[in-house]
Amino acid sequence: MNLSTTIAGVTFPTCFMNAAGACCVTQEELEALGESHAGAIVTKSMTPQPREGNPGPRYHSFPGGSINSMGLPNLGYPAYAKLIPELRRFGKPIVASIAGLNPQDFLEAAKAIELAKPDLVEVNLSCPNLPGEPQIAYDIEASRRILLELQECLTIPMGVKLPPYFDPVHHEAMAGMLEGVNVSFLSLINSVGNGLVIDPESETVVIKPKGGFGGIGGTIIKPVALANVRAFWKLFQGRMPIIGVGGVVTGTDAFEHLLCGASAVQVGTTLVEEGLTAFERLEKELSEVLTKKGYASVDDCRGRLKEL
């Protein structure tokens, strides 16, 4: 089965890759992604300075998914800029995720990372876990300003990682703004921000930062992820490549993202819980689903969701 896919002119050997944040902070983790069946290496969202992140416990899984408030632990962009050329040896696309606490951070990271020549840059406008910092992508004008500045200093295609939106008016407002900037793909969605998971037995929250509030991922967010993939696919009439993220546990989950319009999928909670062998399993499962349904490739089924 042909599971390869092309996004913004970059061909991925398979349509599965890690979600930014999942198993991709350290050199060892990035190399392990290189050696795995992952179709790409996506870095942790990087900031100018190295960060320890929030105090633990800061990740917790439960039967339907996970909650996290990592707080952007990362090596800082100089370290990733140095690592990226070394990761080339794995022969798969490299996606650099950049983040920041202010617009200047994004620009600095973009300028340094441009020189390291990743294949794509994923601009993370949707980190929910920085105490006191709103998610940028819930502010259309702030997002526009950052993307306009970034497009001036990047020649590598840039995409945007968005948070979930829950109303068509918000999908339309974001899509309308994106029409006016040079964005080559969308990664949809980041975790559902500021959920709360509690343990009724001990009567406590399960993670420490922000009084227990954190980003929700995994199976329980799949309907929200699919809705966002579908909404943006339709708003751009299938002309904006989308990487679907959220609730990919099985090959069938990935198939659902493809039907909604995704060109590839990223795996977060499942990767953290199951480890890198998840990629091989997902490939096998998706191949079986596509074969059974008579599709010859990822391209063949993309966006083909039927409406009633």
Token pair belonging to 100: 């920041």
In the set 66, 69, 97, 126, the catalytic residue is 126
Contact (CB, 8 A) for 12 and 264:
yes
Contact pattern from residue 80 through residue 109 relative to ligand DHB, giving x for each residue in contact according to CB under 6 A and a dash for the rest: -------------------x----------
287: annotated active-site residue: no
User: What is residue 218's three-state secondary structure?
Assistant: coil
Label each residue of 219-277 as H, E or C.
HHHHHHHHHHHHHHHHHCCCCCCEEEECCCCCHHHHHHHHHHCCCEEEECHHHHHHCCC
**Residue 215 interacting with ligand DHB (CB under 6 A):** yes
C-alpha–C-alpha distance, residues 292 and 280, integer Å: 18
Among residues 93, 128, 159, 247, which is the contact residue for ligand DHB, using CB under 6 A?
128
Candidates 15, 127, 260, 301; catalytic one: 127
Q: Which residue, 71 or 157, has its beta carbon nearer to ligand DHB? A: 71
Q: Are the beta carbons of 289 and 41 closer than 8 angstroms?
A: no
Of 5, 45, 187, 269, the one binding ligand DHB by CB under 6 A? 45
Q: Are 163 and 216 in contact (CB under 8 A)?
A: no
Candidates 143, 191, 219, 269; binder of ligand DHB (CB under 6 A) is: 191
Q: How far is the CB of 304 from ligand DHB (least distance, A)?
A: 29
Does residue 228 touch ligand DHB according to CB under 6 A? no
Closer to ligand DHB by Cβ: residue 194 or 297: 194
User: Is the peptide bond between 189 and the residue preceding it cis, with omega within 30 degrees of 0?
Assistant: yes
What is the signed CA dihedral for 252, 39, 28, 272, rounded to 10 degrees? Answer: -10
Report the alpha-carbon angle 245-175-236, nearest 5.
Answer: 80
Q: For ligand DHB, what does the binding mask look like between residues 139 and 168, x meaning CB under 6 A?
A: ------------------------------
**Given candidates 23, 127, 189, 227, which one binds ligand DHB under the rule CB under 6 A?**
127
Structure tokens of 259? 């039907």
**At its nearest, how many Å lie between ligand DHB and the CB of residue 243?**
14
C-alpha neighbours within 13 Å on the C-beta side of residue 217: 33
Q: How far apart are CA 38 and CA 15, in angstroms?
A: 8
CB 264 to ligand DHB: min, Å: 18
Nearer of residues 3 and 229 to ligand DHB, judged by Cβ: 229
Q: Which of 14, 18, 190, 269 binds ligand DHB (CB under 6 A)?
A: 190
CB of 99 to ligand DHB, least distance (A): 6
CB atoms within 10 A of CB 100: 26
Strand, coil or helix: what is 194? strand
Question: Pick from 5, 43, 47, 126: which binds ligand DHB (CB under 6 A)?
Answer: 126
At closest approach, how far in Å is the CB of 67 from ligand DHB? 11
User: Would you say 108 or 299 has its CB closer to ligand DHB?
Assistant: 108
Give catalytic status of residue 126 as yes or no. Answer: yes
The catalytic residues are 126-127
Could you list the residues that contact ligand DHB (CB under 6 A)? Answer: 21, 45, 53, 69-72, 99, 124, 126-129, 190-191, 215
